Structure 1
Amino acid sequence: MSGPPGDPLSPVAPAGRADPADPAGEGDSADQAGSADPRLAGLTGSTVVVTGAAGGFGRAVSRALAQAGARVVLTGRDPDALDRAAAGLGVPADRVLAVPGDLTDPAAMDRVAAAALRRFGRVDALVNNAAVFGPLGPTWTLDERSWWHAMEVNLRGVLRGCRAVLPHMTAHRAGRIVNVVSSAGRTRWPLASAYSVSKAAVITLTENLAVELRRHAVSVFAYHPGLLDVGMAEDPHRFAERHGPAARAIAAWLRDQADSGGLTPLRTAVTTLALLLTGAADPLSGQYLTARDALAALACSRKADAR
């Protein structure tokens, strides 16, 4: 995927990547993305914490995990939206726990992890999905507090999530963490520097954590789901209205991506993330991965290189 307009040097994503989850391009809604996939059978009985679980992608991920047999702990800022998301997972209530929490609260993720352990006795995986886009415009014109707020949510929130669950995971020598990132962290995104820089930092944090966690048998991934038909790409006009004049160029780029087939099917994005939690990609711990990567082939290649 190329970057937003205004950046002639922004590279195009490598071509030729397989789409293992949805070759037919099916599944374009959060509800459709939740049907069970036999490759996810290994998730049955596991406990997964999902941040930003009330939003479009977080809700779809939570539903897919629940349909695969996982016990899902949903967290987010809006208690009502969180309860609606939990009720919509389509599984028995005793397999779902909603714990409201704001990632800017230093103790929020500790409370989420503690609630998960009390209810289910274990935490097997964490999906750090919550994020904000941050202010848009030339960086030097932006309100510094708004710019830094994006760091607080997107980077520090990920750090807090990891710190909350890793004592349990390392003690049990098992666990997987998926940090949801973006191509904005791999290339430059003019007019969206707060978002871009925060995601770049999460990618590097993931690389460091992977090395530190290797001896503890815990895997961590930086995962880019692609540009999805939820959130900002779902309604570029509304996105531009909410974020002001600087968002118009990005909104136009979003429309171009949608018109040219540049969106990733939601089912593909969700299923690939869930596959990371099964252990299928553990040899790739620390890597930046995308929804269209052929995980099995990449993992086999990494194993061969390690011999």
Structure 2
Amino acid sequence: MLVRGLTVAVTGANRGLGRAIAERAADAGADLLLLGRDLDALRGVAAATGGEVRYLDLADPATIGPALSGRVDVLVNNGGVTGPIGPSWEVADRDWWEAMEVNVRGTVQACHAVLPGMLARHSGRVINIVSNAGRLTWPSVSSYSVSKAAVIKFTENVAEELRNRGVSVFSFHPGLLDIGMAGGHLNERRSTDPWRNQIRIWLRMERKAGRFTPLSQALETLLLLLDGTADPLSGSYLTADDDIAALVKEKS
């Protein structure tokens, strides 16, 4: 794999999937830029991976440019929020839009920060972590669903703008995992909120039915995006279940 020596920036690297991505990239030889709000947790990840820690709050645009200054060969836009849970007309408008600000604007601004340098080097990759919530309807988490749909469409447009310029952009759905957002909801205790309970019950049913993705599978597929194997598929929505090599062969 051609990851060794690349500077890989991971947002939301302090826990969950972000931390797992950082650790796997470090194992493959990448130099890490660990980004997030919890500096103590990030330092713990850095102790295990050797990465550099920088503060980044996707809800605060002023932090994004400085956090991503310098050389970034691969950006993994992993940080994000679930947003409010409940019927769209009942959740607070402010909370609904806050999720859009973090998940969409944060992704766009992170791309703004790294793409000029990538274009100057005629080399680079951006991997936007998304969800099938952006492809299907996810009632009671509409802001999350709409934000991921927006990121998928943003990815498609940016990839076209970057065509033949040496920079690849992907949307990547890692599947339902026992860690991260799904893991957090899965392990919640019964709540007085019926909508949160609905999500928890659904996730438990999905796991029982064998529809969760092993973390190792998600990470190994993601590495094929990190190392350039998937570059011919720039702009695509890819998942942990995809056979990347077969898709590349089909594309050629």
Tell me which interval the TM-score lies in, with the shorter structure as reference length: over 0.9
Partner of 1:54: 14
Deviation, 1:201, is 0.1
2:166 is the counterpart of 1:211 = no
State the alpha-carbon separation in 2 of the partners of residues 88 and 264 from structure 1.
Answer: 25
3-state SS of paired residue (1:43): coil
Is contact 2:82–2:181 with CA below 8 Å preserved after alignment?
A: no
3-state SS of paired residue (2:164): helix
Deviation, 1:239, is 6.8
Q: 1:298 aligns with which of 244, 247, 251?
A: 247
State the alpha-carbon separation in 2 of the partners of residues 300 and 272 from structure 1.
Answer: 16
How many residues are paired up? 251
Q: 1:83 aligns with which of 28, 36, 43?
A: 43
Spell out, residue by residue over 1:102-158, the C-alpha distance to the aligned partner (whole angstroms, 9 max, x if none). Answer: 0121122211122xx2xxxx2111000001000011101110111011001111110
Spell out, residue by residue over 1:139-192, the C-alpha distance to the aligned partner (whole angstroms, 9 max, x if none). Answer: 011101110110011111100110000010011110000000000000000001
3-state SS of paired residue (2:171): strand
Q: 1:111 aligns with which of 66, 73, 78?
A: 66
Listed as ranges, the gaps of 5+ residues in structure 2 are none
Partner of 1:238: 188
State the alpha-carbon separation in 1 of the partners of residues 84 and 182 from structure 2.
Answer: 17
Is contact 1:82–1:100 with CA below 8 Å preserved after alignment?
A: no
Partner of 2:75: 126
Runs of 4 or more above 6 Å deviation: none
* Higher Cα radius of gyration: 1
2:214 is the counterpart of 1:259 = no
Distance 1:240 1:123, change over 3 A: farther
2:237 is the counterpart of 1:288 = yes
3-state SS of paired residue (1:209): helix
C-alpha RMSD of the superposition = 1.4
Q: Using CA pairs under 8 Å that are at least 6 residues apart, name the structure with larger relative contact order, 1 or 2.
A: 1
TM-score computed with the length of structure 2 as normaliser: 0.96
Spell out, residue by residue over 1:54-103, the C-alpha distance to the aligned partner (whole angstroms, 9 max, x if none). Answer: 121000100011111110001011111111122122xxx3xx10101101
Deviation, 1:215, is 3.1
State the alpha-carbon separation in 2 of the partners of residues 219 and 198 from structure 1.
Answer: 21
State the alpha-carbon separation in 2 of the partners of residues 240 and 158 from structure 1.
Answer: 33
